[in-house]
Each structure stands twice: as structure tokens, then as C-alpha cells.
Chains A and B, each alone.
Chain A
Amino acid sequence: MDTSEDILQQASPDLVRGSETRRAAKSARLSPSFISWLQAGPMMLVFLAFFLIPLVFVVIVSFWDYNEYQLLPAFSGRGYTDTFEGCLAQLPDLCTIGKTYLKTLKLCFLVWAITLFIGFWVAYFLAFHVKSKTWQMGLSLLCTIPFWTSNVIRMIAWIPLLGRNGLVNSGLMKTGLINQPVEWLLFSEFSVVLALVHLFTFFMVVPIFNSMIRIDKSLIEAAYDAGASGLQTLVNVIIPLAKPGIVIGSIFVITIVMGDFITIGVMGGQQIAAAGKIIETRVNALQFPAAAANAVILLVITFLIITMMSRIVDIKKEL
């Protein structure tokens, strides 16, 4: 009776037998799938309560009726008919909603093209030209930091530059290029696109950089050895391999711009109509079914664009 286990047992009976049995009991009680549910369940509940159910409510409420004071839970297509009011009569001219969506798509396309161009070359520089890991980290951090401060501040930061008496105008006046301040710099489509590019190029840089960094450098050497020019390497090797990042970045930028109403409001001087802005206006007028109907339309269009883009790559595989 003097094996070490027995001594241990006498000193602390719990330590040997107790922990064994308790552990056995525990593993018998908690099956792996139950643990998974316990771990993933809370997040699932948050998405259910604050994302999935609200989406269902948007669709349901878009078919409700309303008057000036309240929601009326009775089936009605009024949210949609009010939205498209006069559209058929005006053909072939576009009605207000048509024009608004066309303008939103135009803004979206411009911002997408510019952020893609900037994002691609910034990511390219970081991934292929910056050789030291420390510099790579430092420079990417430099691009990331502004993303962590308020969007509204980054928007209003343009006011002292673009305003009537702003730096750009006074600079141009001093050099004698213009006699009068340029008016279209601020509170215009120009300033909206500029601010959106300023805010969201980050969403293009990060995914493109992520897929470029994974490209095997020897593939580029191989292309070079095989006699490919720089342009040929870019078109035939780098762009195809960076495609997942390009698509993910594009999805981010497009969905953000499609739904944006804050940048377009602030930088457009509350004068430019856009898809997100319609929803906001309807909510402020307490016309919830009409707001919901517009949200459904916006959702469908966004969904179509994403489906089209995700045909090009399998997003899940890339993460």
C-alpha cells in the first residue's frame, strides 16, 4: 500500500479519483456538438435577433398600409405604388425613382473604378515592392489608421480645403488661374465621389493586398524568365491570382456606396438624391412601409450585383 498513487490518494482523495470521475462525467454530459452550439449559439442569436428577423420585418412591413400617424398591419402594395408613382405615365422619360437609382449606380461605378485603381496600385506597391516585413507592416498600418476615426470627421475635413474660401480656391486665385472661386468643388457630385473614395479605398486595399501577399514570388520570376514583359506578367499572372481580393474589395465598396446616405447627404449639401437617401427621407416622414419598400428594392439590386460578382470567385473558399 505504498505506491505513489495511494499516498496521493490518502493526502488528497479528491485529486485522483474525484477529478477522474468528474472529467468522465463531464465529457459524457457535454457532447462535441452540444459544445459547438454553446460556443456558436450566442453569436447566432445576435444575428437572428438583430439582423435576420429585422430583415424579415422589412419585407413584411413593405406590404403594410400606412396613414400620416401610424403603421396599419393590413396587406397593401401602397409602399411600392407610392414609390413608383407616375413612372408608367412618364415613359419613355425616367421618373424620379428611376433617375435616383441611375444616379446612385453612376456614383457607385465612379467610386468603384477609382478605388479599384488606387487600391490595386497601393496594394501592388506594398506587396511586391516593399521587401522588408517591418516596412510592409508599418506602411499598411499607416493606410489603416484613418479608417479607425470617425467617417463624419473625415468628410468635414474636406470643407476647409474645397469650400468657397478654401485652400484650393484661394490657391487657384492667388496663382491667377481663376478670377472667381470655383463653386462645384464642394456640395456637389464631385465632392461626394471624392469623400467616398477617401473613406473607402481602405476596403479595396486590404483584400487585394491579402491575396497579392499569398502569390508565390517564384511564379513572377518564372514569368520573367520565360520572357514575359512587365505588362504581360501583370495581366496574365498577377491580376488573375489577385482576382479574389479584387472581387471581395469590389463587393465591399459597391454595397457601401449603394446604401450610403450619410456621405451623400453631408458632402452633397443634402441636395443629391440617392437610394439610401430615399429610405432616410421616408423614415423621417414616418412612412415606414414606403421606406421598407425602398429598402427591399435596394436589397434586391445589391443582391443581384453581389451574385453576379461572386460567380467570379467562391468567397467562402478565400477566407
Chain B
Amino acid sequence: MREGRPRSFYVLALFFAAYVLFLYGPMIAIYMLSFQGPQGGLTFPMNGVSTYWLTKLFQGTGIVDLGASFRRSLLLGVIVMAVTVVLSVAAGMAFRRKFKAQSILFYSAIASLIVPSIITSLGISLEFRIIDDLIKAHWNENFETSMGLLTSGLGAHLTWTLPFGLLIMFAIFNRFDPRLEEAARDLGATPWQTFRHVVLPIILPSVIGIGLFGFTLSWDELARSSQAIGAVNTLPLDLQGLTTTVTNPDIYALGTIISAVSFAVITLALGTIHMLNKRQAAKGSDAGKGLV
């Protein structure tokens, strides 16, 4: 074995540090700028320090109702998270057995991940337009539209979150020990009991990871929402709209709030995962601990 660190270590460590600075530097800049004083502009230097622009957001800027789109994004994110977790875990279980249409589902997921978002979004919008036209022609002339946050919008977000969920499930079951299930079966557990009391507790930390992905991917999703969401806007769509008319630091303030929610969700999820891992390590085996 070679001893000590080679010279390449220091070169690459410096390169890595520069990359991290490149990643975080600009973001830190806008977080700072969102605390500009009331007279502050879009660039440095800071013109006083205040929470003026942050509070101004909640009073409403007059152009768009950010409060409403905030609630819409939150609602959609939570629903996408729940659906992604349930469908991914179920499909992940299915993939442990061979079944027909296995490769169709796999390739659909991969294709959904790599077909450019604008095409998926356009397709969904065309689909719902055609459905609307059919309803208008055959059933109800006054029908407005079936597009919306929880129809076309939800579907559009799921085409983005489900492939990630499925891939994470593959990674989980790659290192899952099936002997644990056999043991449960031998003890007379039903398939549901085996899942509920053996499989789920073991995979729970990663399942929370899937939920984390589901929520944050939906919360920040823009390209797929752009054509498919219908008349209402999500927060990222409003933000994108603001970029063309940006003159005040309130756009940075909005950015800071969106990031704060993302970071809060990440921290919460990572904290829960950490806690579950610790509990698992503590309670994982009681062999030799006595008491019957």
C-alpha cells in the first residue's frame, strides 16, 4: 500500500472545494440580498439590512397572488409525495418477482425520465384538450375544462417523480435479505403481516427518502407544469413569470422562502431517517438478551 496522500489528492480537493463554492456561492448571494433594506436594489452592495422584502411578499405584491400559489404547490407536493411513495413501494415489490409487462413498465419509467419534459407536458395538455372537446361535443356544451392542479397537473408531476421512486426501490431491494421474509413466513405470518412487520420497518428509512424526492421534485417542478397545469399557477411558475419583470429584491425573497421550505423538508426527512436507523440499530437484534 502507498503511504500518505498523493499530490493529486490536494489538487482534486481544491477542485472539489471550487465546485462546492460554484454550487453554493450564487445561492448564498441571493439569500443575503433578500435581506436588503427597503431602498436596496438587485445587486450588491447591501443597502441596509431588513426583512422588508420578505414581509412585503406576504402582504401581496399586487401582481400575483403568491399566497394562493404557495398553498397550491404545497397541496400538490404533499399529494404527489403520498402517491409516489405508495405506487413506488408497490411496484418495487412487484419487481422482485418476474411478471409479464415487467420490461414495459421498466422502459416506460426510464423513457418518462429522459423524454424532454416539454414533450411530456405538451402531450398531456393535448390529451386533456381532446378530452375536453369530446365532453363538449357529446355531453355538455358548457363544460369548461378537465385540466387542473389535481388532474393533468398531478399526472404530469407523477411522470417525473415515479421513475425516481422506482429506481430507489430497485436500489433498496438489491441489498434486501429475503431470508428475513422466509423466517416470517415460516413463523406463520400472512403476506400482509410479513410486509407490515418485517419488510416495511427495514425499508422505512429509504421509503422516507422516496417521499422526500417526491415532495421536493414536485415542489420545484417547472417544465412539466408549464403546459399541463391548466389555468392556475404553481409557485415556480409564478417565480418564472416574475423573472421577466424583475426590478425588486422581492424575487430573491421569494427564492429564499421556496428554498427554506425545501431545506426544512430535507432536514425533517434526513432527521427521521437518522432516527429510524438508530432505532433499528438499537432494536435490530435482541438475541441473547434474555427474557424467554
Contact = CB atoms under 8 A, between A and B. Distances in A.
Q: How large is the interface on B (under 10, 10 to 19, 20 to 34, 35 or more residues)?
A: 35 or more
A75 interface: no
A121 interface: yes
Contacts of A279: 118-119, 122
B158 interface: yes
Contacts of B33: 160
Interface string A150-183: 1111111111110101110010000000000000
Interface in A292-319: 292, 295, 298-299, 302, 306, 315-316, 319
A259 B252 contact: no
B190 A54 contact: no
Interface residues of A, number: 89
A109 interface: no
A23 B194 CA distance: 14
Q: Which of A55, A153, A256 is the most central at the interface, judged by chain B CB atoms within 10 Å of its CB?
A: A153
B23 A163 contact: no
A276 B170 CA distance: 32
A54 B123 CA distance: 4
B251 interface: yes
Contact of B108 (A44, A280, A295): A44
A157 B126 contact: no
Interface string B167-183: 10010000000000000
Shortest 10 CB-CB contacts between residues of A and residues of B: A259-B116, A54-B123, A50-B155, A36-B99, A157-B26, A39-B94, A40-B94, A153-B255, A125-B12, A47-B108
Interface of B: 1-2, 5-6, 8-9, 12-13, 15-16, 19-20, 22-27, 29-30, 33, 42-44, 86-88, 90-91, 93-95, 97, 99-106, 108-112, 114-120, 122-127, 129-130, 133, 152, 155-156, 158-159, 162, 166-167, 170, 190-191, 216, 219-220, 222-223, 226-227, 236, 239-240, 243-244, 246, 251-252, 255, 258-259, 262-263, 266
16 contacts: A39-B90, A39-B94, A40-B101, A43-B109, A44-B105, A54-B123, A121-B15, A153-B30, A156-B246, A251-B114, A260-B223, A270-B244, A276-B116, A276-B118, A280-B118, A316-B106
